[in-house]
Amino acid sequence: MSSDDSSNERMNFQLLLRRRGIVDHAVLKAMDEVPREEFVEAGTREEAYADAALPIACGQTISQPFVVAYMTEQLRLRPHHRVLEIGTGSGYQAAVLSHLAAEVVSVERFRTLADRARLRLQRLSRDNVEVQTVDGYDLPDELGLFDRIMVTAAMEAVPDELLGRLTKEGILLAPVGPQQGTQMLTRFTRSADGVAREDLLEVRFVPALRGIARQL
């Protein structure tokens, strides 16, 4: 692909996100700065900037760009925030988050995905991202609390233990609903009065499974 073609592709990518309602300039800038082609499989690089989910290793997917941008925008990130991502996948969402937050901890149950994502992020000098092979339903105590939590796989219900990882006024974003079918992207906001829930958008995500995968 020529440099002109690449430039046009990235411009169309930004126009697509704007047309679909993404208005946060910091989010748009982060989406522009992360080379999505580095996070897709070799056979789908020509489709990297299409607004579609694409297959990656271990039967997982990289979410479509609009969903990545929308979830990032709805997380209401600030530069000082510490963020937890559950479901590293290719590492693309973590890379976007890393441009907007002070620290990103991303956990993945598939060791293959975690190892590949870690290498990609290191290659792109995203030094404020830490990738761990961890069960998202059983987080180590030493991970502590987070200002923001993003779950990138479908949960039938968000565990109280996960909501308990939020700091005061923290936000958790997750696709909630049946693991096969359509879920509701839901934002949970902690306050002195408890945790408020807000439904945002219908989505389809791969299921969030318990445990660390044995072979992959």
pLDDT tens profile 147-160:
999 999 999 999 99
pLDDT band of residue 2 (cuts 50, 70, 90) is very low
What integer pLDDT is reported at residue 45 of this predicted model? 87
Q: Tell me: pLDDT of 104 over 60.
A: yes
pLDDT band of residue 216 (cuts 50, 70, 90) is low
Over its C-alpha atoms, the chain yields an Rg (Å, rounded) of: 16
The pLDDT tens digits of the residues spanning 123-180 come to: 999 999 999 999 999 999 999 999 999 999 999 999 999 999 999 999 999 999 998 8
% of the chain residues with pLDDT over 70: 95
The amino acid at 64: Q
What domains are there in the chain, each with its CATH number?
3-203 (3.40.50.150)
Spot the catalytic one: 2, 7, 63, 125.
Answer: 63
125 classed as catalytic: no
Q: Tell me: pLDDT of 5 over 80.
A: no
CB proximity list for 71: less than 8 A, separation 6 or greater: 63, 93, 150, 152, 173, 185
Beta strand pairing call for 183-191 and 129-133: unpaired
The pLDDT tens digits of the residues spanning 60-92 come to: 999 999 999 999 999 999 999 999 999 999 999
